A and B are shown apart, each in its own frame.
Chain A
Amino acid sequence: DVKVTQSSRYLVKRTGEKVFLECVQDMDHENMFWYRQDPGLGLRLIYFSYDVKMKEKGDIPEGYSVSREKKERFSLILESASTNQTSMYLCASKTTGYTEAFFGQGTRLTVV
């Protein structure tokens, strides 16, 4: 069974803080993704990575960066958290090709 694990279920951070969201998958998937999930807006892609140290911007990368030093781990970094980054963040992984994505349980981030 594929497991995608996000390090925190809930986080509360202050405006201006640097925030790290961690994601680990255990199925040797090449591709990993970070999405933001907001009501009425669906899932919007922030960044994705198709290999170690390879990353590409998604649809809403502003204010975020990512790191993938090991195949199983993909980190999302908010350099300076702002209140408009309060959201649910979903990590996903998949194999290369026409396959489905597997999701983590999500991290609900609140920036105050």
Chain B
Amino acid sequence: SAVISQKPSRDICQRGTSLTIQCQVDSQVTMMFWYRQQPGQSLTLIATANQGSEATYESGFVIDKFPISRPNLTFSTLTVSNMSPEDSSIYLCSVGSRNSGTDTQYFGPGTRLTVL
């Protein structure tokens, strides 16, 4: 499977500021996704990062709050804008890899965000 890295691994930010999280893959992948995992909770899909076009957001997530870029097949960024303490979470990127005829996902190590 692909090797996935994320930067930063963790950060503590002040409310009202923005943070950009980077996701880098060591090989070209078709699909990249961004998830949020609040403490003790499950994984919630934020959006699908589409290469060369706008991301596809899930219900409850909007581009103004979570702008996503995907300039090529190995890299994507997620920005958490105008942060509030409710945005404190782990943010994970995942990449799709074909497995048994369908796409499964492999996760990056995550970015632990604390908003004060």
Q: Do A and B bind each other?
A: no
